[in-house]
Structure 1
Amino acid sequence: MNTHYHPTAGATLKNGRYAVLRKLGEGITAVTWLVNDKSITDNRLRYFAAKILSAEATAEPHGPARERDMLQAIADSSEQEGHDYVPDLCDSFNEGPHLCLILPLYSTSVASLCHSGPHKCLPVYMVRSIIHMTLHALQLLHNLKIVHTDVRPDNILFTNARFSFVPDLENLFRTTLHTTVLRFRLIGFGHAEWLNRTPSRTTLCPPALRPPEVILSYGFGTAVDIWAIGCLAFELLVGRRLFHPEDDGDDWTNEEDHLAKMQQLTGQHFTADVLTRAKNGVKYLNPNGHLARIPELIPVSIEQAMRNYNIPGLAEEDIQESADFIRACLELDDRKRPTAEELLEYSFAKKAWLCH
């Protein structure tokens, strides 16, 4: 049970500086409000999003301070490449038992736009841009020793677009080369972790984005976000999650099915080096690196998995380039995955339609 901030009519924050206008969204540990900074005279610049943590989340040891410190580290890196694709912390303070984070007001999420499309996916040109900008964001975060752990469509927001009318959405989905320059920012640092510190939680990453090293417990690092980028690219292109594991009662568990699907899509098995590091290896794998309870796997290439959805406008060249990119992200050995900087050199990311 979380005790959230509940404003009364005419409520303000920080001794009257911020007027609380209306709720923008609500999560388990925080509620985000639209606020008006009364110290700013320009009406176009005075609106912000106030993320107000629950009393319980604020009281959690190291939790709120971790998110605030990360956002502050990002704010202090304004001269570094990638800063344009992460949020700016404008202010932070405590309002009674609640930590308040004041952030810029952005537009709709990539997830919301996907749900509006006819196939729950996005045009290739837009996916390339989203991936390109998110990689720049991760490049900065990883240089700052921050692991995001939650790179998904809900946490990527448009920063220069307002989609209020159906025609706007239809134009985006219908156009193959759109003239509007789209900008995105990676948000959602509530579950982020410092790279050089012990993770604050025992369960990392949403289930669908969970990489093998988290399931088998053989490491934690920036490669977690690289795995998620591969999952993100697939989901945005075809409108379906890359992994949706299921248990089968007594025959296998959710985790075993997840590991099986990883091997089916990549054609890889877990190497001797991984087995040596995997604390949970004996729970799922035999000494050869294969699943003990699911010995027979049916290989399915990433290319074929994409073709199976018959997405209009997804050309064979796009499938090949995106599959090469996704395959690199899904290297089972976390130490062999490319960095965000290296992924920016892949043709799938380099062909992003950007205008600076």
Structure 2
Amino acid sequence: MTSPPATPPTELPPDPQSWRFKDSGAPCEWAKEYRPGGFHPVNLGDTFRDGKYKVIRKLGDGLFSTVWLVVNTGTPRYVVLKIMVAKAPTTNTELRILNYLSKVAPRDIRAQHVTVLLDTFHHQGINGKHQCLVFEPMGATAASLVEELPENKPKMYGKRQRYLKRMAKNTLLHALRGLAFLYQNGVVHGDVQSGNLLFSIEDISSVGEDNLKQDEASIAIPLHRVDGKADRWAPKILYLKQPLYDRMQRGPELCVKLSDLGLGELPTKSLPKNVKILYSNRMPVAFWLTDPPRDTVTPISLRAPELILHQPFGCGIDMWSFGCLMFEFLTGRTLFAVGMLGNDQKEQDDADDDHLFQFNDVIRPLPDSIMAAWPRASKCYKTNRQRLQPYSNDEPYIHQSLEVLLAEHRPTEIDNGESAVLWSLMQQILEYDPAKRPSAVDLLKHPWFSE
């Protein structure tokens, strides 16, 4: 008689030879993460909260959760169930923020641009107790939708994938309204990025379950243990995510919402293993303006100067990220290219230095206050602000200015006059001193957004 498999360790095995499962190579959560403290195994048809929610489709996955479309026995008929890993660093602060916003949302029209929590509960599973969050169904993220737009197909090497100006402008406008709602209620998002901007979908309450359920034939992958034994801690099948792209609203009804006020998420399978380790201890994101955390999970290329220099921060970090996204949505390229492959201090220092170099070249010369707070400034610049190259003997690379980059990469829909307006606006948002950055309410009054 074959002995049952031993309980998997709570930590991931150090090498592939110790893995329980054959690597499928599929772009979904890692099978190895199904272990005590990790993901909860979900199969289509599973129910939660005493039968209230029935799983019919997988919408996504990240480092800390899997996300499912479920049938609700109440109203609305369909909702989204986000199941956190059992050892997710979820805090009471996150839940207090989500619950508070859900209560004040009905009184503020700007709340329609923030995903609001509908329900929360705990589920006890084989891998531990999991925090479960329930939200309204939404479509693609701004990061993923851009690849699906007709104007960006077929994909060609060197072709920039970007939104048409109308869609980019509406997306940015809705993000500002969502941020204004958060700030009105004393909340900072902390992770404003294209992956946390969701597009709304049409009303699916009258759509039959058969028209929304998972397409199992094409996007289901059987999971097999290396030793051939049955596994209690993982599902029998891994499902590829199947977002509600075909249900999205793209006309005048288009509505974009800020999401992920709980844990910042990264896709799992698409990350190199060393990058995955780098983000293994990502902290909670949203916070009260009166009680900021010591650190955030803002993506490295969207960090404001105060984050790089470990200075006090508040809602200004959201506005800085927003300024970077303006350039990205309108041009199809990131404003700052900052990479970090390792997790040691030297890698972090090199990335920080490179980021500050780019600020100096792209936006405007760094002020004395930043130079004084930058620990390695003397290794990077002479006293007369002449650039040094501490990492090689090559001539220092000077990045193009924001004005030049915008003029070179703007879409044809934006003429010289509008390009000058946008350059001036981004210069105001990308202000080194967070106290001088415009607020979300200020920007909503700007002619480019209000016209």
TM-score above 0.5: yes
Cα distance in 1 for residues equivalent to 2:84 and 2:317: 26
1:262 aligned partner: 359
Residue correspondences, number: 327
2:56 aligned partner: 21
Q: 1:138 to 1:287 in 2, by over 3 A?
A: farther
Name which of 89, 111, 122 aligns with 1:83.
111
Q: 1:291 to 1:253 in 2, by over 3 A?
A: farther
> What is the Cα-based RMSD across aligned positions, in Å?
2.9
Q: 1:55 to 1:148 in 2, by over 3 A?
A: same
2:96 aligned partner: 69
Cα distance in 1 for residues equivalent to 2:291 and 2:56: 38
Matches within 5 A, 1:129-168: 129-160=170-201, 163-164=245-246
2:259 aligned partner: 187
- Cα deviation, 1:138-183, whole Å, max 9, x if unaligned, reads 1111222222121111111111457539xx99xx7xxxxxx62321
Q: 1:148 to 1:315 in 2, by over 3 A?
A: same
Does the CA-based 8 Å contact 2:302-2:320 persist in structure 1?
A: yes
Does the CA-based 8 Å contact 1:85-1:137 persist in structure 2?
A: yes
1:52 aligned partner: 83
For the pair shown, the structure with the greater C-alpha radius of gyration is 2
Does the CA-based 8 Å contact 1:71-1:88 persist in structure 2?
A: yes
Name which of 380, 396, 404 aligns with 1:304.
404
- Cα deviation, 1:171-203, whole Å, max 9, x if unaligned, reads x7xxxxxx623211110112222222241x635
Alpha-carbon offset, residue 128 of structure 1: 1.5
Cα distance in 2 for residues equivalent to 1:33 and 1:343: 35
Cα distance in 1 for residues equivalent to 2:197 and 2:143: 8
Does the CA-based 8 Å contact 1:114-1:121 persist in structure 2?
A: yes
Does the CA-based 8 Å contact 1:127-1:236 persist in structure 2?
A: yes
Alpha-carbon offset, residue 75 of structure 1: 0.8
1:342 matched to 2:442:
yes
Does the CA-based 8 Å contact 2:190-2:296 persist in structure 1?
A: no
Alpha-carbon offset, residue 233 of structure 1: 0.7
Name the SS of the counterpart of 1:56 in structure 2: coil
64-73 or 235-244, which deviates more: 64-73
Q: Which has the higher contact order (CA 8 A, sep 6+)?
A: 2
Q: 1:234 to 1:93 in 2, by over 3 A?
A: same
1:37 matched to 2:76:
no
Alpha-carbon offset, residue 310 of structure 1: 5.5
Matches within 5 A, 1:282-321: 282-284=375-377, 293=388, 298=398, 300-309=400-409, 311-321=411-421
Cα distance in 2 for residues equivalent to 1:303 and 1:136: 27
Name the SS of the counterpart of 2:307 in structure 1: helix
Does the CA-based 8 Å contact 1:267-1:299 persist in structure 2?
A: no
Letter in structure 1 aligned against 2:253: V
Q: 1:116 to 1:11 in 2, by over 3 A?
A: closer
